[in-house]
Structure 1
Amino acid sequence: MPRPAVQPGADSDAIRLRPPRWADGPALHALVSQCPPLDLNSVYLYLLLAEHFPQTCILAEDEHGIVGMVSAYRPPGRDDVLFVWQVAVQARARGQGLGGRMLRRLLARPPLRAVRWVETTVGPGNHASRRLFARLADRLAAPLTESPLFEAALFGADAHEAEPLLRIGPISLSAVN
């Protein structure tokens, strides 16, 4: 059965956006485990994100459970930056603009009014995430720049790509809405 279309940026009965709660930790872990190439962290980390950073994280759910999440935080001493750690969207919810919708809704929250820069790291091979952040930069009418950050060798024996820094901004609060 086809899924109902969701208008990007609009609330719908099909998919609701909300801050995470600590009880969501195991479901967030399960979601990320279904979203390669994202690095899967421990359940404990997702519990901490939900408990300590609900203002800078968001999840999407439908009648069947959690279908998407963005984990993010404000680096200490940098209130004008939102660092996006992970964006995950379950396969059945892809192709609806949900990743961008979650990011824009997050940026529109009152506690994040001072944010003028969105930063993230995305490996060169993660084309879906690169497209997501390029679309966000376009939507916010802000430049996107890339610079080296974590070289592949820093990840040790793991076969992990480098993680360059993508930076969007400066952004205007009016562009978020």
Structure 2
Amino acid sequence: MVELPRVPEDERALRAAYSRFPSGVVAVAALVDGRPAGMSASSFTSVSLDPPLVSVNAHVRSATWARLGDRPRLGLSVLSEDQAGICRRLATRGLADRFAGIPWRATDGGAVFVEGATAWLECEITQRVPAGDHEIVLLRLHAVATSPERRPLVFHASAYHRLA
């Protein structure tokens, strides 16, 4: 039997372990007071086909999530391999306008999508589950579109990568 070290209380060690799992990155965005607001998330997961559900995780102290969490519709844009700069911008704290210079479009329901992504999902929040310093946000899909010629952005070991 293999002996594993106990879970460290050092946040950096946990982050390093979590970063060993590669993931895609999504922009989570909506109109707030008529302007786009959004953040990036690498915790996006497909959940169910019937009903169509996905999830993301949001930090409970995120000022951006506090603005997005009550929106009737959210737009999830699966970022493409050439959008690492957009991902960084959407992850930057304290920016007055995270969408400055980012091409976007909005639906009638207020979901905001990043142009040039590889997929877009229009969703509504169905459940928010407390989970430590985050909450798991369960989202029901209402519309989807893809751009299969675009390859996804991959986040691994705290850096952005392209598929080989």
- Report the TM-score when normalising by structure 2: 0.31
Of Structure 1 and Structure 2, the greater strand share is in 2
Of Structure 1 and Structure 2, the greater helix share is in 1
Of structures 1 and 2, the one scoring higher in RCO (CA 8 A, sep 6+) is 2
- Report the TM-score when normalising by structure 1: 0.29
